[in-house]
Structure 1
Amino acid sequence: MAAVLSVCGSPSASSRTAHLLRQLDIRLAAHGHQVTHLDIRTLPPQALFQADTRHPAIAAAVRDVAHTDGIVIATPIYKAAYSGALKSLLDLLPQRVLTGKTVLPLATGGSPAHVLAIDYALRPVLNSMGATHIVQGRFTLDEDITVNEDGSVTLPPPAADALNRAIDQFARTLHQMSARGA
């Protein structure tokens, strides 16, 4: 069983990104992985923006990233880039903190024009931080995400299938890395 950190980069408490990520966490847990959540919006803003790694909440977040096998990073796309909250967290992490880790980038956005933001904005940063394996990311249109009253998410079959394939590939990669002792 691999340890997975599920990071939500949305600044909104009612975010479709966050609801979608929580549903995907359930699927990862069903694969036998231990999933821990990190909602960046819950970190103290002053400590986050000042990169105060001595602050207990920030130190805990850095520790969580450093001591996990895999990371799912979900972010809304704003102005063709990942969220500023996610940028703030990534900026304060040690440069090579993702070395030896498998990463799955996920994004949500209002326009298909933002579909390449994962590959052109987020993936280079993850590579620079030493991610050993970055699984092919997925972009989901906001209009495809319906948050139900119970907090679960409904997606049209093509979007659901694509996300499930991404999560399943991430889970398989984690199992393979664990089997190799990587």
Structure 2
Amino acid sequence: MSKVVILSGSPSTQSRLYGLINYTTEQLQQAGAEVTLLNVVDLPAEDLVTANFNSPDVTASLALIAAADAVIVASPVYKASYSGLLKIFLDLVPQEGLRGKPVLPLFIGGTLAHLLVIDYALKPVINALGGRHILGGVYAVDQWVERLPDGAYGLYEELVARLERSVKEINELLKL
């Protein structure tokens, strides 16, 4: 069974980003992948800030990334870049920690003006970590994700189509 880790750099588990994450998780699981959600916000802040490589939580998180067949990097966009929380975690990933793994960016922001954050902010960092197979990614605008009364999320039709195309691409790469 292929292992996919979704690395969420959102400081809030109530973010609309989880509409994208939840949908992608369901699609991957239906295809037969084992999906693990790694919320950076759940890791001890002091261990992240001090780069405590001996922290059991940091060690376990890095082991998840190392064991993954594919990694999905998810973040809200703040100040024209991904979250600082995501950056502080990516700084802990070993130099070649993403080599040989397809990487799919999932980003959400308040405006289309930040669409290029994936290309200009994230891709150079992924490349520095050995990631060479960086998929096009999905950028969504907040308005395309509706919070529903039951806690679920409603997604804009075009967003669903783009997520499905990206999941299909991962499935093909992982031979699911």
TM-score (norm 2): 0.95
Q: Which residue of 1 aligns with 2:77?
A: 77
1:46 equivalent in alignment to 2:46? yes
1:65 equivalent in alignment to 2:53? no
Task: Please state how far the C-alpha of 1:13 moved relative to its aligned partner.
Answer: 2.3
Residues 88-97 or 10-19, more deviating: 10-19
**SS of aligned partner of 1:19:** helix
Alpha-carbon distance between aligned partners in 2 of 1:29 and 1:39, rounded to the nearest angstrom:
18
Q: Which residue of 2 aligns with 1:127?
A: 127
Task: Show CA shifts across 1:30-77 (max 9, x none).
Answer: 111110110011000010111101111111111111111101111001
Residues 4-13 or 155-164, more deviating: 155-164
Task: Show CA shifts across 1:138-182 (max 9, x none).
Answer: 100011101223332211211211121112112212228xxxxxx
TM-score (norm 1): 0.92
Structure 2's unaligned 5+ residue stretches are: none
**SS of aligned partner of 1:27:** helix
Structure 1's unaligned 5+ residue stretches are: 177-182
C-alpha contact (below 8 Å) 2:19/2:155 kept by paired residues: no
1:103 equivalent in alignment to 2:103? yes
Number of residue pairs aligned between Structure 1 and Structure 2: 176
After the TM superposition, which segments of 4 or more aligned residues of structure 1 sit over 2 Å from their partners?
A: 149-152
Q: Which residue of 1 aligns with 2:35?
A: 35
Q: Which residue of 1 aligns with 2:18?
A: 18
RMSD: 1.2
